[in-house]
Every structure is written in C-alpha cells, then in structure tokens.
Amino acid sequence: MIAAGSAAAVGLAAAGVVYTAGGDEPAASAEAAGATATVEQQDLARSEEVVGTLSYGEAHTLTGAKPGVVTWLPEPGTVITAGDAVYDVDNAPVVAMTGDLPLWRNLAPGVEGPDVAQLESNLVDLGYEGFTEDDAYTDATAEAVEEWQEDLGTEETGTVAVGDVLFSPNTVRVADQLAAVGDPANGPVLAYTSDERRVTVQLEIADQDLVAVDQAVAVVLPDGTEAAGTVSAVGQTVTGAEEGSDGPETVEVTVAVDDQAALGDLVSAPVTVELVSEVHEDVLTVPVEALLALREGGYGVEVVDDGTTHLVPVETGVFADGRVEVSGDLEAGMAVAVPS
C-alpha cells in the first residue's frame, strides 16, 4: 500500500480542482475530457530545495601563550598546516603541529606522557629521526628537537616550551588578524576557521525527514553551477521554539563539499541545497493535474479509452516534478484526462 499523499494532494482538494461523485458515474464522452496524458512507469523521488549559507564555518580565537611581542602575522586566507609558522614572537616562529592536546607544560628530557608522544609523532612526520617514537622524551628526542630548531632558525635548546608549538587536530585557515605587529603576544592573536568550506542550512522541522547523515545532496551556487555535497551533521537542537518567537522551528544541517575547487573563489555566499529522499523505483505516475478529488474522499483519474472515459480510484504516493505516484487499476501507456 502506498503511503498517504503529501500536502500537495491536500491542496488539490482545498482548491476544489475537480470533484466527482465516484465510481458509479456513467461513462462520459472523451470529448469532455479535454487534453490527455500518458500513465508512465518511472523512478520518482520526493525532493525539496532549501536555502543555505556557504562559509568556512564559525571563527575561533587563537590566544597567544608565549610572552613577548608579535613580530609577524599571516594574512587572512592563509592555510596553516603542520610544520608551518602560525605567527612570530620576538622574531621566532610559533609552529603548528597536529594533535588534540594543547602544549600545557615544557617538554624536556625525563618527561613522559601523551603530549610527548604527540610531539614525537609530528617530528617523525616532518622527517626527523634518531629517536624512538613513544611517550618518553629522551636525550635522543632532544637531539632531534635541536635539529628542528636549527632548521627553524631559533635557539637550539633541545626543549619545547609552552607557547613554542600550537597543536590542532585539523588544518586551519586564518580568518582575521586580531593583533598587530608590536602588540603583546600573550593576548588574542588570530581568528581562525576550518580550511574547508561547508554549507549550513536551517531546516524546518517539518522537512527533517528529508535528510540523514551521509546523504548525498546537490549544492547550487549563485552562478547556477552545482557541486556535490554530503550531509555531515544534523543538529539536535531546535531553534525558534521559544514562546513568542517568529518563524518556524528549525534544526541546523551541515553539508560537506568534497571538491572544494568546484566552489571557485567563494568565501561566503547564499546557496540552494537540493534534498532528495523517498526514491520510489518503477512506479506508475500521472501529472498532478490528472488527479480528481472525490466527494467521498481520496482521489481518482479518468482513463480515456475508445472515445469514452471511466473513473479509476487511485492511491497517491510521492509528488515530484509535477507528477504523482499512483496505484490502482492502471497500466503504463494508458491515457488519462487532464482538465484544462
């Protein structure tokens, strides 16, 4: 049994499109039927276009942990990866490395822990050798650190002090400079975001069934070009639910775009996201205009055959692209009346 029709079907009845007394009516002349359309067998999918915002996501503040004076800052738009300088303090670089733990203590021979393992993993990735990659900071680790410091052009201490390295789990992009050259380095320095653009959509609760994590969607850019997207997150917090608030209740949906090049040079822009769900394969469909709202409830279509018409009650399913899924005493290729 096909699922009940959508609000589009309800709208047909409300608008008084066509009413008939039902299946006991005598056959009518095909002349009165006007135009006809063909019952087709095809795949049909419910879809919806919603407005979203393309951006690099929320900006976060980077606060310096190293005393001194800011002597260099990267330009907004700079992407910072492991091994890159984030900014300079007293003419020495503060370096980015990959990791979940912040550098909360000085690292030197004799220190052990996951923060040491994190540092050593980055040193290996940057091409430094001669030590065992584990969670112990040994003299061999210190020698590798000295080599790294020599390559950076900084003092070769063999230790890593708080503020020398900034660990981040992901590559970041500079959004704005919050300090200027000459400012103290132990305050807000930079605003940063993810290095990948994504789309956020405030989706009405009524349409929440249209999305699921890992679902493929199409992102339509302002110039009309499309980029493939994937739903990466569906929010659990409803907004607009407070008493007296205007507008519908929504949840935030995040769409990732794998091919960042397809987005061109856009930094932020309104976009359209095409959501598709409920794909029904090999179903019978007719134009929505062919549906007749029956007085006794439900819908039917008038089948045109050999110069006469007869009413066939139908159940409706998915509405999409001006057509509706129907089931009943119908076959592909039949002609149905479409009121003009």
Tell me the pLDDT tens digit for each residue of 58-90.
999 999 999 999 999 999 999 999 999 999 999
Helix axes 114-125, 139-152, angle to 10 degrees: 50
Kindly indicate the confidence band of residue 11, based on its pLDDT and cuts at 50, 70 and 90.
Answer: very low
Q: Where are the domains of the chain?
A: 7-44+280-338, 49-56+196-278, 59-104+162-195, 107-159
What does the pLDDT read at residue 241? Answer: 57
Class of domain 49-56+196-278 as given by CATH = mainly beta
Q: Does domain 59-104+162-195 have CATH number 2.40.50.100?
A: yes
* Mean pLDDT confidence for 84-113: 97
Kindly indicate the confidence band of residue 176, based on its pLDDT and cuts at 50, 70 and 90.
Answer: very high
Average pLDDT, the chain: 89
| In the chain, % of residues over pLDDT 90 | 76
Tell me the pLDDT tens digit for each residue of 283-336.
999 999 999 999 889 999 999 998 898 999 999 998 888 899 999 999 999 999
Q: Does domain 7-44+280-338 have CATH number 2.30.30.90?
A: no
Query: Which pair of structure tokens corresponds to residue 67?
Result: 């005393």
- Comparing 276 with 194, the larger pLDDT belongs to 194
With residue 122 as reference, give the H or E element that holds it: helix 114-125
- Distance, C-alpha 109 to centroid of its chain: 45
- 52: CB partners within 8 A, 6+ apart: 199, 200, 201, 219, 253, 255, 270, 271, 272, 273
